[in-house]
Chain A
Amino acid sequence: MRRRALVNGACVIIAVLFVFPVYWMASTALKPDADIVSYPPVLLPWPIELGHFGRVLGDGEFWAALRASLTVTVTVVTAGTLVALMAAVALARFTFRGRTGFVLGLIIVQMIPAEALFIPFYLMLRETRLLGQLAGLMLVYLSITVPFTAWMLRGFVASIPADLEEAAAMDGASRWQTFWRVLFPLVAPGLLATSIFSFITAWTEFTYAYVLINDPRNYPLPVYIQSFIGRDDVDYGPQMAVAFLFTLPVVVFFLFVQRRAVAGMSAGAVKG
């Protein structure tokens, strides 16, 4: 049993290593300035000081960035999920020419790296005068989320027996009723999972946001967070406070999906 104790001890140490950066972010956000720039560092934020949060919440730029991020995220999640659901139903419930090709296309487009595409997107948005506009960023995010969510939802729709819809149709339900009354409730968990994926993508993406939004009035939160990194020094207190507020919803949503995410990893996983 000494071996078990060693293993448990190692688990504790490694868990601390994983959580420490997040703890340091939160504790920095909760310390007074004097404790942030101190040597040796103050390990416990005590007494807790909410000044940085106060400063952030009193800053108009933060609210503008939050509004920008929410606008982009809500639009991308809503529009993207709708578009993806339509595509998923088409792919899972109909046989038609070009179906396999379409599915293959959905998989291939996911592999093109953001780092490679920001040049053409930059030029495209420049020419359409959408550079620096949130609408341009939304379009780009839709192009990232739709192929993946459509592919994911296709699996969810296909796992629902088509007999159910056929039975409803036999009972005289219209196609629209069949969809809303039969298919939609059953596919709802899938919709939740895909919208969380779109949410996290649109909320946390940095590369495109940084390249395509050059107007400080339209900075979404990721670009606002990096704007704290000045030429010489970083104002860590408020930056960590924003980072904390930014990360919180992601962690909350993540807790909903992580079990399924790990279990289903062999079925296909995407990151970045």
Chain B
Amino acid sequence: MSTVLAPAPPVADAPAAPRKRVITPYILLIPATVAVFVTLVYPVGRMIALSFQRGNLGDLIARRSVWVGLDNYRSVLTDPVFWTVLPRTVGFAVVCVVLTLTIATGCALLLQHASRWARLLLSAGMVIAWATPVLIGAVVFKWLFDAEFGVVNWLLTESGLCDCRHRSWLGDQWSAFAVLVSIVVWGAVPFAALSIYAGLLTVPPELGEAARVDGAGAHRIFWRITFPLLRPIYAILTVLSVIWDTKVFPQVWLTTKGGPYQGTVMLGVYIYQKGIVGSQFGVASTVAVLMTIMLVGLSWIYIRAMRQEAR
């Protein structure tokens, strides 16, 4: 999903009338509670429980729970594969976030200084990329980077950058990585750029003018004036992007399936391979628990940043 939606500007809780019968809200909340409980609270509990169980296919078919204590955690945390997948996932997210924010800042500044028509053109282009579902982005990029008939190889060869005919981008770990990064960054820049641009519009132009009169260059003005004012937006964008870029199962699965030679396996794919493919549901749940802790921790920072900005 590549959607960002937000409610109308933050509203203070309207003081609720205390006269109303107190049973009504509970009745109104029943369906939502059921939806959230049956489909989220229970699975999360199940996932945590499974991480302490053997949970192989035999156990599952016999519907028995064999408790193994911390065995799964021990085996995950001593698994060398886990220790390549985890830093790879984190590294991937970091690269994507840095690139996304840098390019987005550039695009936002362009939007700010462009003529009206160019601004409309660029924002329209970004909205189109933003609206494209993640799954479609991945499928299309796979085609763009096709070894034989992909347009990227042709462009690179024609422009003389490399002799890239027949170059198989997904056949090599690092170039497969580059393709994945470009899918993610292409999809993520528009939202970030439009958010930063919205922030730039709130910066009073007089501040920049005054600094310019005092002899500050564009670089200095950005780092000393603009960036500090937009810090909350950058904080939120960073945390959100880290969360999104850690969850890249569709992008990886639709292009490389974790290959070549498991070289692009990231946490989501690892869980899939262990659990659904390998039927080691206990071990897979352990990895899932660790991933959840990581992402909920990050989200916590996000909520705090959001609260600060709301203030």
A36-71: CB near B (< 8 Å → 1, else 0) gives 111111000000000000000000000000000000
Chain B residues contacting A243 (CB-CB under 8 Å) are 136, 139-140
Instruction: Let me know if A263 is at the binding interface, CB within 8 A.
Output: yes
Chain A residues contacting B267 (CB-CB under 8 Å) are 115
Instruction: Let me know if B309 is at the binding interface, CB within 8 A.
Output: yes
The CA of A95 and the CA of B310, in the complex, are separated in Å by: 23
Q: How far is the CB of B185 from chain A (nearest CB, A)?
A: 11
The CA of A266 and the CA of B9, in the complex, are separated in Å by: 8
Q: How far is the CB of B93 from chain A (nearest CB, A)?
A: 12
Could you tell me if A269 and B35 are in contact, using CB atoms closer than 8 angstroms?
Answer: no
Determine which of A120, A146, A200, A239 lies in contact with B1 in the assembled complex, contact meaning CB atoms within 8 Å: A200
Residue of B nearest to A16 (CB): B125
Residue of B nearest to A196 (CB): B5
Chain A residues contacting B272 (CB-CB under 8 Å) are 115, 118, 211
Count contacts between A and B, CB distance < 8 Å. Answer: 385
Instruction: Let me know if A7 is at the binding interface, CB within 8 A.
Output: yes
Selecting from B73-81, B209-217, B248-256, the interface stretch reads B248-256
List which A237-272 residues lie within 8 A (CB) of chain B.
239-240, 243, 246-247, 250-251, 254-255, 257-258, 260-272
Determine which of B7, B148, B158 lies in contact with A268 in the assembled complex, contact meaning CB atoms within 8 Å: B7
Chain B interface size, as a band, is: 35 or more
Could you tell me if B240 and A269 are in contact, using CB atoms closer than 8 angstroms?
Answer: yes
Q: How far is the CB of B290 from chain A (nearest CB, A)?
A: 9
Could you tell me if A93 and B118 are in contact, using CB atoms closer than 8 angstroms?
Answer: no
The CA of A122 and the CA of B13, in the complex, are separated in Å by: 38
Instruction: Let me know if A121 is at the binding interface, CB within 8 A.
Output: yes
Instruction: Give the secondary structure class of A's interface.
Output: helix
Could you tell me if A156 and B8 are in contact, using CB atoms closer than 8 angstroms?
Answer: yes
Residue of B nearest to A86 (CB): B28
Chain A residues contacting B105 (CB-CB under 8 Å) are none
Could you tell me if A102 and B29 are in contact, using CB atoms closer than 8 angstroms?
Answer: yes
Determine which of B40, B236, B285 lies in contact with A112 in the assembled complex, contact meaning CB atoms within 8 Å: B40
Chain A residues contacting B12 (CB-CB under 8 Å) are 158
Determine which of A140, A155, A240 lies in contact with B39 in the assembled complex, contact meaning CB atoms within 8 Å: A140
A190-232: CB near B (< 8 Å → 1, else 0) gives 1001101100110111110011000000000010011001000
Could you tell me if A190 and B7 are in contact, using CB atoms closer than 8 angstroms?
Answer: yes
Instruction: Let me know if A176 is at the binding interface, CB within 8 A.
Output: no
The CA of A207 and the CA of B288, in the complex, are separated in Å by: 14
A261 and B139 contact, Cβ closer than 8 Å, known pairs A102-B29, A123-B60: no
Could you list 7 A-B pairs, sorted by A, with CB under 8 Å?
A12-B118, A107-B303, A123-B281, A126-B60, A158-B13, A251-B131, A270-B4
Q: State the A residues within 8 Å of B (CB).
A: 3-4, 7-8, 10-12, 14-19, 21-22, 24-25, 28, 36-41, 80, 82-84, 86-87, 89-96, 99, 102, 105-109, 111-124, 126-127, 139-140, 142-143, 146-147, 150-156, 158-159, 161-162, 166, 190, 193-194, 196-197, 200-201, 203-207, 210-211, 222, 225-226, 229, 234, 236, 239-240, 243, 246-247, 250-251, 254-255, 257-258, 260-272
When A and B form their complex, which 10 residue pairs have the shortest distance between CB atoms, in order from nearest?
A143-B39, A15-B125, A115-B268, A264-B6, A254-B131, A87-B32, A155-B7, A120-B43, A90-B28, A116-B288
